[in-house]
């Protein structure tokens, strides 16, 4: 039997107060096994990023249950989890602008308690080893995203949360970055939750959660491809 | 790679920002330390001087010759309790040291030891052993003999006088120092604002990095801890050199300041070792931590609502109203200073709020989109540069107040000199000599055609009835009442006060007495004089420039018989006749070989020179503060506008010519700096009013005239324009460089919403 990494039950989140309140997520239920991959689909504003933020403890849910690594979200040490077990890749701004690519990876590894010696290796694996000493503003968007992936893999996470990691890239570069992401995820055996509006990218995940219509979010279900 | 080194990487990547922040911290520290050093040194020296000359008497030779060791020996042999007091101005020092003989001092003090004097060690600050003092290479040295007047009788060759060398300016010196202290507090406030603005700017540029670290699991508290460590490191690097620089600055100016104090305040500037490390270090470190890290102590919600929200206008208004009420009603200095702080805080909060509200209103009213955008961009600048703008506003206000204060002091000192040194010479009537015969001689031998002016001053005591009590006042009786006094500026007076005074139809009172007892021209003053009670109308109130005792000025020709004269003197402007002829004749008349004559002209000349120096120094210090605030605004305007450059580039992309964009940038920069200057005017005028009309009367019982100098306002406005042009030119340079597209909206937000 597959070990369950993440269980979400009846999760809800809204922003604003009283009459101005906007419900972003309501009664959301799903789970994710260890090593599994899940695509979060939906248009802008459907709650993909909000859900990812809740899954890494940056936003508290208004209601519902969220259990990650066997820890209830109310009692989880989120900072510790983000340091060592959850890797987050955003659409952009994943890197410290004042550190070189290599130093960014080293920082992430050291925070996770992983050896810094392997950091260059991860840059090499992602084909940007020769750019190790460049700063983020000296490389292209695709190269920055690969560096962000290198940072995440250097920490040996159990779960990767990726928020539109290829959203700002051209098709070719996006495919290269996605290839790297899925290849390394398979190699390391970590779980992946990927927020995207790209159906082709989502289809590479084991399962998909459609958050497209807020009104139907409560009926959302994990569909196996 | 640790989070701390990752945080510090900002300064590795942008070293000039680190250098700018450190430089500003260093300069701010140096500035405040310099001002603090000067004022505390001046205060300590004045206090030391007052202490050492307090209630002491000296011996002088009747023939006016300088005292020598032979005099000391002769007098000691007569059994007098004497102490040699050798004042030496070393060649390379600006302050004097005093050589004393502790053994000789024992006969004054009764007890003590040979290694100290008045409880102070003989280390040269200011006291040292007389043998060491005599061995110093000196620009100037003078021997005094301090005597216990009750220790024995003097021979006819000597006389005992007070150990004081110049006329007493009373509390004028204290007043000046108090005002300097108030300004030093204001400079500290401005320094704090500048430090905070520069630090917040550097933080705002690193906000994304903090957020990223938080996403990586580094707790916010730990990031703040790193920032405090970083701040302490920065402080260690900048504060110590800043304090050192401040001391160098102060010492460079101290020579001038010492001679100024010596000349102005009748206090010999003695060597005084001030503790100049501890106070500036503690104050600056506290200030740095307070202004940079205080936010973390305030809950986020409260801070947001207090500073950013719409309530800041209301809060500012409330502070202003309460502060203004305090200024008006305060009956003690502490309340007054608190009220000043409230008003300044209110003004500081109000300015960005006002400008922001104004820009929103004007933007809404504009039909042309470009103009609307101009006003919106102006509002953004006012909000984001609020702190350096407030610092500039307060600096400008301070410069304005100091300029008015110093110019007023200058004019007051001039009038004080005119009043006290109105004649060219001052001549004491020797003990036992008859002033009346001299007055008779002068009346006969100094005809008006010679251009000579003179009057005789009889000084004594009287009592005035104030309520149910009789209080002692000093009486100055003048005869004749002539041109030497009729030019005095009176605060209030009846018709023809001087003619009526000369006719004995009333008296003049000094400001101190009038202020204290609420007396005015036309009031009747019951006076007990030589045992008689007479009621005299008050003809006018004259300024006393800080002399705390009550004074009554009356005509000498109408003094009642039996008036006890305690001191008698003549003020003489000899005209074409020459003072030597007059002193020679009076010397013969009085059978006195040597007369005490003071050359008022040379004293006035010296005083004028030192006044000019002190006022130049004060202006220099405030201008330095202004320069610092201007540089801060320049730097921050430059850095902040650089982050908005992308949006100006859009205008170029949309087809606007670059010169036209530059003009828009220039006009924005000019408008921002000019706004600060215009809003500084009311604050500066208010501050001037507080300094001269509220602090002085509360502290000393007398006020300075409230003079405004609109010409200087124009100079300040021009200066603000120069700052604006500098920012505009820097932006012009930036405009030619490639602009980085903002990747995260948070870095360039102007709080437009």
Residues spanned by the domain of A171: 36-48+77-223
Query: Per the domain annotation, does B318 fall within a domain?
Result: no
Place of tokens 């036309």: B522
Same-domain check for residues B84 and B207: no
Whether the upstream peptide bond of residue B126 has omega within 30° of 0, thus cis, is yes
* CA B451/CA B449 separation, integer angstroms: 5
Which DSSP string do the residues of A125-167 spell out, in sequence order?
Answer: HTT-GGGTTS-GGGS-HHHHHHHHHHHHHHT--SEEEEESTTT
Whether B220 has its CB under 8 Å from any CB of chain A: the answer is no
Residues spanned by the domain of B104: 57-162
Query: Per the domain annotation, does A23 fall within a domain?
Result: no
CATH code (residue A155): 3.40.50.300
Q: Please report the pLDDT score of residue B609 as a whole number.
A: 67
CB contact under 8 A, A93 and B744: yes
Q: Residues B620-648: pLDDT tens digits?
A: 767 777 777 777 777 777 767 766 777 77
Same-domain check for residues B725 and B625: yes
Same-domain check for residues B416 and B443: no
Same-domain check for residues B152 and B172: no
Percent of chain B with pLDDT over 90: 2
Whether B736 has its CB under 8 Å from any CB of chain A: the answer is no
pLDDT of residue B539 exceeding 90, the answer is yes
pLDDT of residue B736 exceeding 80, the answer is no
Same-domain check for residues B596 and B710: no
Query: Per the domain annotation, does A65 fall within a domain?
Result: no
Query: Per the domain annotation, does B690 fall within a domain?
Result: yes
Q: Residues B77-97: pLDDT tens digits?
A: 777 888 888 877 777 665 667
Q: Residues B403-444: pLDDT tens digits?
A: 777 777 777 777 777 777 778 888 888 877 888 888 888 888
Q: Which residues on chain B are in Cβ contact (under 8 Å) with A107?
A: 1-3, 6, 216
Question: Which of A53, A88, A93, A168 to substitute to test the interface with B, most B CBs within 10 Å?
Answer: A93
Contact at 8 Å (CB) between B595 and B238?
no
More confident residue, B508 or A142: B508
What's the Cα-to-Cα distance from B488 to each of B71, B412, B417, B478, B491, rounded to whole Å? 44, 12, 11, 14, 10
Place of tokens 């320069």: B627
pLDDT of residue A134 exceeding 60, the answer is yes
**Which of B278, B297, B316 is the endpoint of a domain?**
B297
Q: Residues B139-190: pLDDT tens digits?
A: 667 788 888 777 777 777 787 776 654 444 445 566 666 766 777 777 787 7
Whether A106 has its CB under 8 Å from any CB of chain B: the answer is yes
Whether A92 has its CB under 8 Å from any CB of chain B: the answer is yes
Contact at 8 Å (CB) between B360 and B373?
no
The Cα of A193 is separated from the nearest Cα of chain B by a number of Å equal to: 16
Question: Which residues lie closer than 8 Å to B482 by C-beta, 6 or more apart?
Answer: B453, B454, B455
Query: Per the domain annotation, does A207 fall within a domain?
Result: yes
What number is the average pLDDT over the span B5-17?
Answer: 82
What number is the average pLDDT over the span B198-214?
Answer: 79
Where residue B747 falls among pLDDT bands split at 50, 70, 90?
A: very low
Q: Please report the pLDDT score of residue B141 as a whole number.
A: 76
Range from A158-172, A198-212, B439-453, B614-628 carrying the lowest mean pLDDT: B614-628
What number is the average pLDDT over the span B651-662?
Answer: 76
Residue B515's CB is within 10 A of a number of other CB atoms, namely 18
Query: Per the domain annotation, does A146 fall within a domain?
Result: yes
Q: Please report the pLDDT score of residue B636 as a whole number.
A: 72
Same-domain check for residues B430 and B410: no
Whether A93 has its CB under 8 Å from any CB of chain B: the answer is yes
Choose from A143-147, B409-413, B653-657 the range with maximum mean pLDDT: A143-147
pLDDT of residue B561 exceeding 70, the answer is yes
**Long-range pairs, B154-159, Cβ under 8 A, ≥24:** B154/B59, B154/B75, B154/B78, B154/B80, B155/B78, B156/B62, B157/B61, B157/B62, B157/B63, B158/B59, B158/B60, B158/B61, B158/B62, B158/B71, B158/B75, B159/B59, B159/B60, B159/B62, B159/B431
Same-domain check for residues B176 and B34: yes
Q: Please report the pLDDT score of residue B506 as a whole number.
A: 92
Whether B2 has its CB under 8 Å from any CB of chain A: the answer is yes
What number is the average pLDDT over the span B25-45?
Answer: 76
- Number of Cα atoms under 13 Å in the Cβ half of residue B425: 21
Per-residue HEC secondary structure of B578-609 comes to CHHHHHHHHHHHHCCCCCCEEEHHHHHHHHHH
Question: Which of B3, B17, B215, B222 to substitute to test the interface with A, most A CBs within 10 Å?
Answer: B215
Percent of chain B with pLDDT over 70: 78
Same-domain check for residues B568 and B669: no
More confident residue, B639 or B11: B11
**Which of B573, B600, B627 is the endpoint of a domain?**
B600
More confident residue, B649 or B133: B133
Same-domain check for residues B554 and B512: yes
What number is the average pLDDT over the span B203-224?
Answer: 82
Query: Per the domain annotation, does B411 fall within a domain?
Result: yes
The Cα of A213 is separated from the nearest Cα of chain B by a number of Å equal to: 27
Query: Per the domain annotation, does B309 fall within a domain?
Result: no
Same-domain check for residues B646 and B726: yes
Indicate the number of domains in chain B: 4
Query: Per the domain annotation, does A59 fall within a domain?
Result: no
Range from A195-209, B2-16, B51-65, B662-676 carrying the lowest mean pLDDT: B51-65
Query: Per the domain annotation, does B346 fall within a domain?
Result: no
Same-domain check for residues B395 and B541: no
Q: Please report the pLDDT score of residue A83 as a whole number.
A: 85
Q: Please report the pLDDT score of residue B709 as a whole number.
A: 77
Where residue B454 falls among pLDDT bands split at 50, 70, 90?
A: confident
Indicate the number of domains in chain A: 1
pLDDT of residue A107 exceeding 60, the answer is yes
Q: Residues B308-357: pLDDT tens digits?
A: 445 667 788 888 889 888 888 887 777 888 888 888 888 888 888 888 88
Q: Please report the pLDDT score of residue B300 as a whole number.
A: 60
More confident residue, B672 or B121: B672
More confident residue, B545 or B720: B720
What number is the average pLDDT over the span B488-513?
Answer: 88
Q: Please report the pLDDT score of residue B650 as a whole number.
A: 67
Same-domain check for residues B417 and B427: no
**Which of B262, B277, B297 is the endpoint of a domain?**
B297
Per-residue HEC secondary structure of B468-530 comes to CEEEEEEEEEEECCCHHHHCCCCCEECCCHHHHHHCCCCEEEEHHHHHHHCCCCCCEEEEEEC
Q: Please report the pLDDT score of residue A220 as a whole number.
A: 40
Query: Per the domain annotation, does A6 fall within a domain?
Result: no
* CA B714/CA B711 separation, integer angstroms: 5
Whether A101 has its CB under 8 Å from any CB of chain B: the answer is no
Query: Per the domain annotation, does B337 fall within a domain?
Result: no
Closest residue in B to A82 (Cα–Cα): B217
Q: Please report the pLDDT score of residue A20 as a whole number.
A: 72
Mean pLDDT over each residue of chain B, to the nearest integer = 76
Query: Per the domain annotation, does A41 fall within a domain?
Result: yes
The first and second tokens of residue B390, run together, are: 């407030």
More confident residue, B261 or A146: A146
More confident residue, A16 or A32: A32
More confident residue, B702 or B714: B714
Contact at 8 Å (CB) between A37 and A194?
yes
Q: Please report the pLDDT score of residue B110 as a whole number.
A: 59
Q: Please report the pLDDT score of residue A218 as a whole number.
A: 33
Burial string for B249-285 (b: 16+ CB within 10 Å, else e) reads bbbebbebbbbbbbbbbbbbbbbbebebeeebbebbb
Range from A210-219, B539-548, B608-617 carrying the lowest mean pLDDT: A210-219
Mean pLDDT over each residue of chain A, to the nearest integer = 82
Query: Per the domain annotation, does A4 fall within a domain?
Result: no
Q: Please report the pLDDT score of residue B602 as a whole number.
A: 73
Range from A26-35, A66-75, A125-134, B204-213 carrying the lowest mean pLDDT: B204-213
Tell me the sheet residues that pair with B507: B538
């Amino acid at each position: 039997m597959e070990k369950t990494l993440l269980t979400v039950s009846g999760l809800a989140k809204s922003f604003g107060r009283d009459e101005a309140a906007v419900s972003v997520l309501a009664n959301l239920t799903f789970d994710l096994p260890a090593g599994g991959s899940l695509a979060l689909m939906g248009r802008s504003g459907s709650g993909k990023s909000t859900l990812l933020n809740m899954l890494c403890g940056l936003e508290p849910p208004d209601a519902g249950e969220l259990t990650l690594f066997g820890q209830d979200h109310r009692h989880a040490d989120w900072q510790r989890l983000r340091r060592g077990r959850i890797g987050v890749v955003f659409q952009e701004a994943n890197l410290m602008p004042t550190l070189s690519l290599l130093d960014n990876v080293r920082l992430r590894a050291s925070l996770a308690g992983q050896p810094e010696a392997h950091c260059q290796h991860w840059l090499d694996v992602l084909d940007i080893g020769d750019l190790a000493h460049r700063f983020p503003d000296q490389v292209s968007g695709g190269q920055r995203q690969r560096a962000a992936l290198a940072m995440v893999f250097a920490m040996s996470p159990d779960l990767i949360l990726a928020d539109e990691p290829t959203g700002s890239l051209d098709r070719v570069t996006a495919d290269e970055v996605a290839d790297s992401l899925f290849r390394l995820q398979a190699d390391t055996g970590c779980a992946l939750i990927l927020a995207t509006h790209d159906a082709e990218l989502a289809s590479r995940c084991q399962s998909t959660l459609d958050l497209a219509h807020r009104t139907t979010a409560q009926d959302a279900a994990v569909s196996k491809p | 790679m640790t989070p701390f080194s990752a945080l510090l990487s900002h300064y590795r990547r942008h070293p000039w920002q680190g250098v700018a922040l450190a430089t500003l911290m260093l300069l701010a520290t140096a500035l405040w330390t310099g001002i603090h050093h000067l004022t505390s040194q001046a205060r300590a020296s004045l206090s030391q001087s007052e202490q050492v000359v307090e209630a002491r008497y000296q011996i002088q030779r009747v023939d006016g010759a300088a005292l020598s060791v032979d005099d000391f020996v002769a007098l000691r042999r007569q059994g007098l309790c004497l102490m040699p007091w050798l004042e030496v101005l070393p060649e390379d020092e600006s302050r004097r040291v005093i050589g004393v003989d502790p053994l000789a001092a024992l006969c004054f003090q009764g007890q003590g030891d040979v290694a100290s004097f008045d409880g102070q060690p003989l280390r040269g600050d200011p006291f040292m052993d007389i043998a060491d003092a005599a061995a110093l290479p000196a620009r100037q040295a003078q021997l005094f003999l301090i005597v216990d007047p009750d220790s024995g009788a003097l021979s006819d060759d000597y006389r005992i006088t007070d150990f004081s060398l110049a006329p007493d300016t009373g509390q004028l010196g204290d007043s000046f120092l108090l005002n300097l202290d108030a300004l030093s507090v204001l400079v500290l406030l401005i320094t704090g604002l500048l430090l905070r603005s520069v630090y917040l700017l550097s933080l705002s540029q690193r906000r994304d990095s903090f957020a990223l670290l938080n996403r990586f699991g580094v707790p916010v508290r730990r990031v703040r801890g790193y920032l405090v460590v970083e701040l302490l490191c920065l402080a260690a690097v900048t504060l110590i050199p800043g304090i050192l620089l401040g001391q160098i600055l102060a010492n460079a100016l101290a020579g001038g300041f010492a001679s100024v104090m010596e000349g102005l305040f009748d206090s010999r500037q003695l060597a005084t070792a001030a503790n100049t490390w501890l106070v500036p270090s503690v104050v600056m470190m506290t200030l740095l931590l307070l202004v940079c890290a205080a936010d973390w102590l305030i809950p986020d919600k409260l801070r947001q609502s207090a500073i950013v929200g719409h309530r800041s206008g209301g809060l500012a208004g409330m502070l202003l109203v309460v502060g203004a009420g305090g200024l008006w009603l305060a009956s003690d200095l502490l309340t007054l200073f608190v009220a000043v702080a409230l008003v300044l805080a209110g003004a500081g909060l109000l300015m960005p709020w006002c400008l922001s509200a104004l820009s929103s209103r004007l933007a809404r009213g504009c039909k042309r989109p470009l103009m609307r955008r101009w006003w919106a961009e102006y509002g953004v600048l006012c909000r984001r540069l609020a702190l350096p703008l407030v610092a500039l506003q307060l600096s400008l206000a301070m410069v304005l107040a100091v300029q008015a204060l110093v110019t007023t002091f200058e004019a007051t000192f001039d009038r004080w000199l005119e009043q006290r040194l109105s004649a060219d010479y001052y001549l004491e009537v020797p003990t036992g000599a008859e002033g009346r015969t001299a007055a008779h001689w002068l009346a006969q031998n100094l005809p008006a055609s010679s251009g000579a002016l003179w009057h005789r001053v009889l000084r004594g005591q009287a009592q005035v009835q104030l309520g149910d009590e009789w209080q002692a006042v000093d009486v100055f009786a003048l005869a004749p009442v002539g041109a030497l006094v009729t030019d005095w500026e009176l605060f209030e007076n009846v018709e023809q006060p001087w003619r009526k005074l000369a006719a004995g139809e009333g008296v003049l009172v000094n400001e101190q007495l009038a202020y204290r007892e609420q007396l005015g021209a036309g009031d009747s003053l019951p006076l007990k004089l030589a045992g008689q009670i007479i009621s005299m109308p008050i003809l006018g109130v004259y300024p006393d420039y800080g002399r705390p005792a009550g004074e009554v000025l009356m005509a000498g020709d109408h003094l009642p018989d039996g008036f006890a004269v305690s001191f008698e003197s003549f003020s003489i402007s000899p005209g074409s006749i020459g003072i030597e002829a007059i002193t020679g004749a009076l010397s013969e008349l009085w059978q006195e070989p040597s007369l005490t004559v003071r050359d008022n002209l040379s004293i006035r000349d010296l005083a004028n020179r030192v006044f000019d120096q002190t006022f130049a120094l004060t202006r220099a210090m405030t201008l330095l503060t202004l320069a610092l605030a201007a540089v801060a605004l320049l730097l921050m305007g430059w850095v902040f506008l650089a982050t908005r450059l992308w949006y100006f580039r859009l205008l170029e992309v949309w087809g606007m010519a670059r010169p036209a964009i530059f003009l828009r940038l220039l006009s924005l920069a000019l408008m921002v700096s000019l706004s600060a200057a215009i809003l500084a005017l009311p604050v500066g005028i208010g501050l001037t009013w507080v300094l001269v009309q509220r602090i002085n009367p509360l502290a000393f019982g007398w006020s300075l005239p409230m003079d405004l100098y609109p010409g200087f306002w124009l100079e300040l406005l021009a200066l603000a324009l120069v700052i604006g042009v500098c920012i505009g030119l820097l932006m012009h340079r930036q405009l030619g460089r490639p602009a980085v597209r903002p990747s995260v909206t948070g870095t360039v937000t102007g709080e437009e919403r």
